[in-house]
Each structure stands twice: as C-alpha cells, then as structure tokens.
Structure 1
Amino acid sequence: MIEWLAFWLDDGYNPDTIYLALANIVLGISLTHAYRHVIRRWNWVRLPFFRLAPRVLLSVLVLASIMTFVNLPFDRTLYPELFINEPVVLFGYLMSWGKTMFAWVLSYTAYHYVERTRDAEIEKLLLKTSIRETEAKVLRSQMNPHFIFNALNSIRALVYEDPTKAQQGITQLSNILRNSLLADRRKTVELREEIKTVEDYLALEKIRYEDRLNAHIDLDTRTLYWQVPPMMLQTLVENAIKHGVQKAVGGGFVEVTSWLEADAKDHDLLHIRIRNTGVLGDKEASDGFGLKNTAQRLDLLYGSPASFHIVQEKEDIVCAEIVIPSQSDTIFRKNDTKNITSQAA
C-alpha cells in the first residue's frame, strides 16, 4: 500500500491508480460479503475450534489468491519495474494480501464465534431454568388423591351426625384444594399461610383418627412471614400421618416447630422441624412421596443453601428438618434469572 501511494504521488495522481484502488475496495467488500454468507450459510461458528480453524485458514488463502491474481495484471502494466523477479513478487503479493485478509477474517470469525458461544451458553441456562421451573410446577401441584377421598368420606359421615362440623370440614377441604391449585402459580408463600393449610389438613384428619391423632404446632413469630414453598409442609405432615400415626397401634402425634438460626456468615436461616410417631423404613427414606418431593423442590428453588434431613430420633419417633435460606437469597436467585433473560433478549 505504501508503494502504491508513492507511485500514485510520483505519477501525479494517476487516474489508473485511483481506479485500481477503488476496484480493490469494491472487490474486497464483495469477497468479505461472500465470506460472511458462507460462514452463516454453513454455520461455521457452531463448529468446534479444531474444525473451524482449517476452514478459516483455507478462506484466507482463497481470498488472498483472488486479490493477488486480480491485481497482478494491472500492477504489471502500471509498474513493470516491480516485476523484474516475478516469483518473489508473486509471493510478496500473496503474503501482503494474506495478512490483510487474515486480520479481517480472524477478527470477524472470532467476534461471531464468541458471540455464538455466549448465546449458546445463555440458551442453555434459559433451557435449564425453564426445565427446573417446569419440574417445580409439577412438584408444587402434586397432591395425594387418597387424602381427598378419605376427607370426603369423613365429611360424609358427619353430614347427619354433626352438620355444623361437616360444613366446617367442607370449608377446610375447599381451602386445601384452593391452595393446591394456587401452588402451581406461586413459587413461595408466607409460612403463616402454609401453616393455615396444615391446620386445615390436620383438622380433617382429626375427624378420621379422632383421639388417635394428637397435633401440636409451635412457631417462632419471627418466622411467620418467611417465604416457603407452597404445600410443602402439608405434604410432609401427610407423609408423617400416612407412614407414622396410621400404622401405630395406639395412634400417635405430629409436631411442627419453627425458629431462626444464624449460619457461619451470620445470615438467618429458617429451620422447620416435623416430629411424628413412626419408624423410618428404607423404602420410605428412598421412595417416600413427601420426602422426595421436598428434597427436589428445595434444590430447584434454593440450591445448596437449603437442606432437608430426616432421621430416626428415637425408637418410635421420626424427625424431619428443613433449612431455608433468607428471603434476600431467594430474590437474588430470581434476579439472576431475569438478567439472563434480558441478555438473551
């Protein structure tokens, strides 16, 4: 290019030189546009690096050769003194145009390769988030149908014996079903709302088990407005009655307590403990609906900060404990998902 400029100035603005420069600009734009078409048409940016690199180098060679063999006839006519040693000149042309084309092709390909890799990562994150959200919705919406049948049978038995209590039972069952339907639309609810569902559930089970079921709920007032997964405690209490109180000859108890406890970083964690009469069998520990459901939902919503453990506290008492991180951590995770979505848009 410097030689062209020197000859151009020495020749007094030779029109042929100007036309050749303009022709090179048009040809360069055309070739690079063709390269863009090829790289998009065959989705080269989706290829792994070891397959993309040879294609880029071959493209540089092809583009440099085209520019060289187009320019050579014109330059030989305009500047014959440069072509005394033609093979060396040809090699120099290829090297000169090769460097120019390599710089452009490399920068263009690298930019789109990085962009494509970034977009692919965002798509994977969005897909993973969508899958996790779908799984969470399925888990939130699940309810044991046997409970509904048993509750309806219990209420039916009260229709003639105690109509007032039967009406109350219908209201409690309606509240549980409504909350079960709403659980599909909400990720979390306040603990006090979830406990109201648990109380309605226990009241209906009390109709069935009468004195064989004793229930006690003791909550720290600081935890009442803490956000928890909907229908999670109800499912665990149902699991406790099904695998514990129901199987005990003399009946049993269910106890729900909550409190706040700081972790090593002085962040508050919500602890919820459910104790009940029962024996923790291997099948219940690995396949129990309430247990598996709870572990999956906590992992989907909070990840590693949350935990769920169940142990045999005593010979006839099972203890399950849930740990949920602070509400700010939950908001942070939601904001991360929103940021990913906005980047994809």
Structure 2
Amino acid sequence: MSDRRPRSLRWLWQCLLWGGYTALSAAMTAAFMGHSSGGYFISIMLGLGLLVSSEALRWLVLHRGWLSRSLFALLWRMAVAIGILAALIQVVVIVSLNLGLTQGWLQLTGSDFTVWALLAYWFNTMMPLWLWAAGWLSLQAIRRSRQSELLRLRAEAERSQLEFAALRARLNPHFVFNGLNNLRALINEDTERARQMVTQLSNTLRHALGHSTAEMVTLAEELAVVQDYLAIEAVHFEQRLRVEEQIEAEALTALLPPMSLQLLVENAIKHGIALQPQGGTLQIQGGLIDGRLWLAVRNPGRLDRSG
C-alpha cells in the first residue's frame, strides 16, 4: 500500500497537469483555427504524448543514474532525450492526423506542414517538456536535500547513542555503587576522608564524562584519574589493595586513548585483587621505547586455563 499510494498520487498529478495543458491547447486552437475535429485531435494527441514522454524522462533520469552525474552531463542528456521525444510525438501526431484526414474521420483547416512549420511544432512540443523537467528536477533536488539532511540527523543520533553506550560502559555501575556505599559509611566515621572521597569520585566521573568524545589524553592526566580511582577502591578493599607505580618521567606527556589505563586497572582489580582473600599488590609500570609508550599492569591473579 505504501508504494501504490505515491504512485497513484503521481499519476493523478500527471493527468491533471497534462489534462490542463490539453484543455488550454484545445481552447487556443479553437480561438485561432476555429472549431475543427482535427485541431482537437492534435491537442489530445499532444497531451497524451507529453504525458508518456514525461514518464519516459522520469524513468531515464531515475534508472540510468542521471541525477548522480554533473549538471552539464545531466543537461545535455536531458536535451537529447527531450529532442528525441518531441520529434517522436510530432511523428505520431502527423501520421495519425494524415490518416484521419485521408479517411475522412477528421477535418482541419489552415494546416501547414512546411519545414519551418514542422520545426516550430517541434520546438513548441519541447517547451512544455523542458518546463516539466525543470519543475520535476527541482522537486527531486529538494527531496534529495531533505533525505541527506535526514540521513545526517540519523547518523548524529546513532553516534550519540554509541557515545552514550560507551559512556555507560566506562562508568562501572559496581564501582559507583560501592563508592557511594563506602562514602555513606565514611560520613559518620571520618568526615575529612569522606570529603576527599567525594572529590576523588567527582574527578573520576568528570574524567569519564569530559573525555567521552576526546580522542587522546596525556599519561599524566590518565594517571591522575587512576590514582583517584585507586583511592576510592582502597576504601573498599582496605589493606587488601596495595599499589606500586613505576612510571618514567618522560612518558608522562605521551598520549593514549582516554580511560584505557583505568580499564586495565579495573580489570586487574576485578580479576586479581578481588579474587584473592589476602588481596595483593597492583603494579603499574610505564615508559618509552623508541619514542613509543608502553604500559604494564600486573596483579597477583592466575589465569584459569580450564575453560
């Protein structure tokens, strides 16, 4: 139903357009040539020919990929097609008119079929086709512009959804939940430490939010967030979490994707420290080799090879 409705609507507009042209042509013929069956026949045949030709032009443009070509290539193809279609219309009109006149079916007065008259008829047939083509191509340009804008908006919406999904993945819900629970416990026990934890938690969340679209950050910036993150986790794990950092000073200005080191640290705690009853030491190492950054995060966990 969705395909039939636009098609039937298009045919309705086409019939109304060329029907109106036929009626206007017949009225002008009657005004200048008098009432004659031949004159009305010419107007009707021209209207039908223009209707069929406009549909043929539409098919050529859409199915031959003319809209994807340059403006010059489109125009000269349209000129050739319109010229040929107008000539075919004139041939059909003249042949059928002569047949009707010779058989006595039609009467026509003042007909002139000289070379110059035929050229004038041909030109007059091309003009409505050119006007139709200009209007139709303008509508196509507007439609393609709207479709491009719609595709752009959809792409932006999909990108926003992906960014939101990535942001949700970065904000570990268990970390936030544990951090808030520990913060609630510290408020009554150690207000100064609770105040520090609020700052550390806000720094961690601000980093995740602020760098959700950033491409690269320095290692120093990433380490600052990791240290805040580890300070929050230390409240949860207490003495079970010990941290050792061995970072070369010249590596601090090196660039890396945001949250990349923190994800390594999170996994090291989740799959190492958290699984050990006695906890363990988390080692963070980094430096430069031939100008390239290297990082290592070690935990006391063991790789389960049974799976």
Structure 1-normalised TM-score? Answer: 0.45
Partner of 1:278: 301
Alpha-carbon distance in structure 1 between the residues aligned to 2:237 and 2:165:
30
- 2:202 is aligned with 1:174: yes
Counterpart of 1:227, as a letter, is L
- Between the aligned residues of both structures, percent identity stands at 34
Counterpart AA for 1:246: A
CA contact (8 A) 1:176 1:197 kept: yes
- Tell me whether 1:201 sits opposite 2:229 in the alignment: yes
Secondary structure (helix, strand or coil) at the match of 1:279 reads coil
Quick check: 1:221 aligned with 2:275?
A: no
How far 1:240 moved relative to its partner? 1.2
Per-residue CA shift, 1:273-318, capped at 9, x if unaligned? 21112123479x9xxxxxxxxxxxxxxxxxxxxxxxxxxxxxxxxx
**Structure-1 residue corresponding to 2:189:** 161
| The structure with more strand, counted as a fraction of residues | 1
Deviation at 1:156, TM superposition (A): 2.9
Distance 1:223 1:126, change over 3 A: farther
> How far apart in 2 are the matches of 1:63 and 1:34?
12
Kept after mapping to 2: 8 A contact 1:141/1:183: no
User: Size of the alignment, in residue pairs?
Assistant: 203
Assess if the C-alpha contact under 8 Å between 1:140 and 1:183 holds in 2. Answer: no
Residue by residue over 1:86-118, the C-alpha shift from the partner in whole angstroms, topping out at 9 and shown as x without a partner, is: xxxxxxxxxxxxxxxxxxxxxxxxxxxxxx9xx
For residue 246 of structure 1, give the secondary structure of its aligned residue in structure 2. helix
Aligned to 1:260: 288
Task: State the AA in 2 paired with 1:277.
Answer: P
Q: Which 5+ residue runs of structure 1 have no aligned equivalent?
A: 1-29, 48-56, 79-115, 263-267, 286-345
CA distance in 2, matches of 1:257, 1:149: 28
1:196 Cα shift? Answer: 0.7
Instruction: Tell me how far apart the structure 2 counterparts of residues 232 and 279 of structure 1 sit (CA, whole Å).
Output: 22
Q: What is residue 135 of structure 1 aligned with on the other side?
A: 162
Alpha-carbon spacing, 1:38–1:272, altered in 2? closer, same or farther (3 Å)? same
Residue 197 of structure 1 deviates from its aligned partner by: 0.9
Structure 1 Cα separation of the partners of residues 84 and 183 of structure 2:
86
Report SS of the residue matched to 1:277: coil
Tell me: CA distance 1:37–1:155, structure 2 relative to 1, closer, same or farther (3 Å): same
Give the 3 Å change call, closer, same or farther, for CA 159–261 of structure 1 in structure 2.
same
Asked if the contact 2:60/2:66 (under 8 Å) is kept, the reply is: no
Residue of structure 2 in register with 1:14 after alignment:
none
Indicate the RMSD between aligned Cα atoms, in angstroms: 4.8
Q: Give the deviation of 1:186 after TM superposition.
A: 2.6
> Cα–Cα, structure 1 residues 146 and 38, in superposed 2: closer, same or farther, change >3 Å?
same
Tell whether the 8 Å contact from 2:57 to 2:81 is kept in structure 1 after alignment. no
Cα drift, residue 192 of structure 1:
1.1
Following superposition, the deviation at residue 68 of structure 1 comes to 7.5
Structure 2 CA distance for partners of 1:34 and 1:152, relative to 1, 3 Å: same
Q: CA deviation at 1:195?
A: 0.9
Q: Per-residue deviation at 1:65?
A: 7.1
Residues 141-189 of structure 1, C-alpha deviation per residue, up to 9 Å, x if partnerless? Answer: 4311111221222233333433222221121112112222223343332
Q: 1:164–1:65: structure 2 CA closer, same or farther, 3 Å change rule?
A: closer
Residue 144 of structure 1 corresponds to 172
Question: Are 1:260 and 1:270, in contact at CA under 8 Å, matched by a contact in 2?
Answer: yes
1:246 aligns with 2:274: yes
Counterpart AA for 1:38: R
Distance in 1 between residues matched to 2:277 and 2:230, nearest whole Å:
19
Indicate the residue corresponding to 1:45 in structure 2.
65
**Which of these two proteins has the greater Rg computed from alpha carbons?**
2
How do 1:39-118 residues align onto structure 2 when only pairs under 5 Å count? 42=62, 44-45=64-65, 64=84, 67=87
Cα pair 1:141 1:180 within 8 Å, conserved: no
Alpha-carbon shift at residue 69 of structure 1 (Å): 8.3
The match for 2:3 is none
What displacement does 1:245 show? 0.4
Give me the whole-angstrom Cα distance separating, in 1, the residues matched to 2:62 and 2:232.
Answer: 64
Query: What is the deviation of 1:199?
Result: 0.2
CA contact (8 A) 1:243 1:278 kept: yes
Gaps in structure 2 of 5+ consecutive residues:
1-49, 68-76, 95-112, 116-143
Contact 2:200/2:229 (<8 A) preserved: yes
Question: C-alpha distance in 2, partners of 1:206/1:135?
Answer: 32
Query: Secondary structure in 1 aligned to 2:303?
Result: coil
